[in-house]
Every structure is written in C-alpha cells, then in structure tokens.
A and B are shown apart, each in its own frame.
Chain A
Amino acid sequence: MKLDLTLNGRAVSDDVRPDLTLLEFLREHGCLSVKQGCGTANCGLCTVLLDDVPVLSCSVLAVRANGRAVVTLEGLQEEASAFVGFLADQGADQCGFCNPGMVMNTIALLRENPDPSDDEIRAYLAGNLCRCSGYEGQLRGIRAYLDSRKE
C-alpha cells in the first residue's frame, strides 16, 4: 500500500504491507532510536510522536500514519540535549535501553506541561518501564533540569 508521511520533517513515500507496524517502518527508514521492547504495548520503549502526540509505534500500523507527521528521537536531538545531561548526572541510565522511550515521553510531557510537579512527572512517565534503575534517578534528573531553568 502507498504510504506518504513526514518523518522528522522530511517527506517520505513508500509501498508497505498493510500489517507493517510503524516501529518496523521507522527502523527500516534508519530511525534506530526506535526499539522494540515488549512488542505488546506495555513498556513505552517504542514511543514516537504522531502529529505531536506520544504513541507506541509497536502498536500502530504504518498505514495509519499516512498523511501525518512522525517524529523520532533522531529529529529531536536539540530538544533532548537540553535535559539528557541532567539524567546522566543523576545516574538515571544503567543499561540505557529504556532511554529513547523515556526521553521521547519526557519531551511530550514538557511540551504539554512545562512545569510539572513530581506527581505529574510520575503519572506521565508511568508507561515507560526501566528494568535497571528504579525510576528515582530519572525523576531527580528531570527535577534538576526544571530547577535549572528557573535559576
């Protein structure tokens, strides 16, 4: 099936199988930050923005992105670079596998709510699983970033 979409600001056209997932499509188009963790809509690792809204690309058909704008971490390097250092400073990453999904969803959170409380951060990131770190490091990192912006 014919698919036309905007990927990280670039027009992309392809012919795809109806059951190809958006995750598979994105990886085939070089967006290797988008990874499959669970593949069952449970872990948040595959998070991308679809028309600016965070979704699980493992559970979206590529054809459903026709005519729409998809953004992955590859397209958000600058926005991410503002706070990923704060995550690293807090030792939030251990193996780092969850990081792309966590960063994508944090970007979505901060666009929607630029000054979230700790509870709002926890609630928004609840669908991003991390097998290593216990989440406190990520929370401290985001908090430190938000505090630094107020200084």
Chain B
Amino acid sequence: MMTIRDYVMAESLEQAFALNQKKGSRILGGMLWLRLSSTPITTAIDLGALGLDTIEETEDAFSIGAMARLRQLEQHPGLNAYTQGAVKDALGSIVGVQFRNLATVGGSIFGRFGFSDVLTVFLSMDTEVELYQGGVLPLTDFIRQKRDRDILTRLIVYKKPGRFVYRSMRAASTDFPVLTCAVSRWDGVFRAAIGARPMAAVRVEDETGILPEAVTEEAAAAFGEYVAARVKTAGNLRGSAAYRTHLVKVLTTRAALALGGMHDET
C-alpha cells in the first residue's frame, strides 16, 4: 500500500525540482501507476498549481503541459484533426474514461512504460520533450535516457503536414496492449513506431523508400516485413516474441494500407 509522509503543492518548478532531488520524493502525475507501488514516499510533490494542464496550439506546434490529462488529449479537436484521429484511437482503449480523466501525459511519457500507447503515438509524430533541467530534446532520445530526478514540463509536437494511423492488439478491449503500432508519413518519410514489444516503443523509418506515396498492397506488406526485421521483440505472459514479431508485420501492413486510404480489415 502506498504511504506518503508529506504532501506539497509546489509553488514553482524550482521548488518542485529541489524537493524532488531527495531520494524518497516523488512527482505526482495522475498517480495511477505511482499508487500501485509500495515504496514509501517521503515527499509527494503536486504540480497541480503550476498551470501545466493546458494544450496550446499555434500555427506550427502543439504545446502539451505535463499535467494535461489523457482525456483532454483524446478530446482535443486540433490534435485529432492534425493526426486524423490517431490520438483518439491510441488513447481510447486505455482502461476507461474515469481513468483517462486522471492519467497525465507527463506521467505517461516520463514513465517510459513498455506497454504505452501514449509513447507509441507521440513517437510517430515530430515530438520533443521539455525537461525542467535537461532542456528540450527529441522524444526519440528521451526514451533511451536513464530515468533521473528531472521534471517533465511539456511535450512539443510540431505540426509537420502528415498522415497518421494507430493500431493496437489487445486480448480484451481495455487490457494492456500486446503490441502497439503507429504508422505515419511526414517530411516525405514513412515511419512506424512499435511499442509493447514488450519493451518501450522504438521508431523505424522507411530509409529505402519501400512505400511509395500511393501505397500498394505489395508495398505495405513489404514495409511490414521491413519493420519486423528491425524491431526487437521479447516474450512475456501476454505473448511470445514470435507472436509479437508476427503482429508487427500484420499491424504495420494494415496501418500502412489505412494510411494510403486502402482497405484495412481491422
């Protein structure tokens, strides 16, 4: 059971960061994951009064505060128009509405959870992470960084004109995913972000131009093979490595077909 000795509503990021340097301190996101841990918390740091719960849209980017809830993202007209609904498709299977009214984008990205739909969908876009001390860095680099005591303040998503499709495989509709897959095309390059491998999501780019702009069935299948050959998978109680690699092929192919406006049987 979670125990907390002190709870602090931070008055500034500076204060939150200083408090968070002590070993027993924890930043509170939506607390859904944190709450399951039995490690005692000496100081629980709430970022709730720092105005980090907004999604701002400018002509060329979205700035998403760390305390924005997954439900806010799922319902954001601009974000869904930009991704053609891929954000809604990615987040809509996470537990339930009441859960997504609590879970934050900051906790979801900072946690770098292997199973994360959130990480997968943002990895398919041109996304940067802003850290209080570490500054701004691409999400692709942040995923590989070792966990430290910094604070994630916001995500920045550049509105590169593009197309996005999200698919996941789950044993039951609101369960953890067995595999996640987001295929996108921006800056003229097709990309596939694959998560729940079960390790954290990775992104593969179509460096050899397998997929033509007008996607064909053969090219989509070849892209599925190409991505599967480059994505390492492993087994756990939800599925074996071989099953996941098969899913990488199937979901990537289907997502590529859907991206090309072609029939996708999911």
Contacts and interface: CB of A to CB of B under 8 A. Distances in A.
B97 A108 contact: yes
A42 B176 CA distance: 11
Nearest to B103: A41
Interface string A29-49: 000000000001110100100
Interface residues of B, number: 26
A41 B35 contact: yes
A60 B96 CA distance: 15
A19 to B, nearest CB: 4
Nearest to A17: B4
A44 B98 contact: yes
A141 interface: no
Interface in B78-111: 92, 95-99, 101-102
B7 A55 contact: no
A54 B97 contact: yes
B36 interface: yes
Contact of B44 (A18, A105, A125): A18
B265 interface: no
A interface residue count range (under 10 / 10 to 19 / 20 to 34 / 35 or more): 20 to 34
Question: Of residues B30, B44, B101, which shows the largest number of chain A Cβ atoms within 10 Å of its Cβ?
Answer: B101
Contacts of B35: 40-41, 59
A47 B98 contact: yes
Interface in B28-54: 28, 30-32, 35-36, 41, 44, 46, 48
Contacts of A1: 7
A64 to B, nearest CB: 7
A42 B95 contact: yes
B15 interface: no
A105 B7 contact: no
B160 to A, nearest CB: 29
B97 A41 contact: no
B6 interface: yes
Contacts of B95: 41-42, 126-127
A116 to B, nearest CB: 12
Contacts of B6: 18
Contacts of A69: none
Contacts of A125: 96
B3 to A, nearest CB: 5
Given A126-B174, A127-B97, A60 B102 contact: yes
Given A40-B36, A126-B173, 18 more contacts: A1-B7, A19-B4, A19-B41, A41-B32, A41-B102, A44-B98, A54-B101, A55-B98, A56-B98, A59-B30, A60-B102, A61-B44, A64-B46, A64-B48, A126-B95, A126-B96, A127-B96, A127-B174
26 contacts: A19-B2, A19-B4, A19-B41, A40-B35, A40-B36, A41-B95, A44-B96, A44-B98, A53-B101, A54-B101, A55-B101, A55-B102, A56-B32, A56-B102, A59-B35, A60-B31, A61-B28, A63-B7, A64-B46, A105-B96, A105-B98, A124-B97, A127-B95, A127-B96, A127-B97, A127-B98
Interface of B: 2-7, 28, 30-32, 35-36, 41, 44, 46, 48, 92, 95-99, 101-102, 173-174
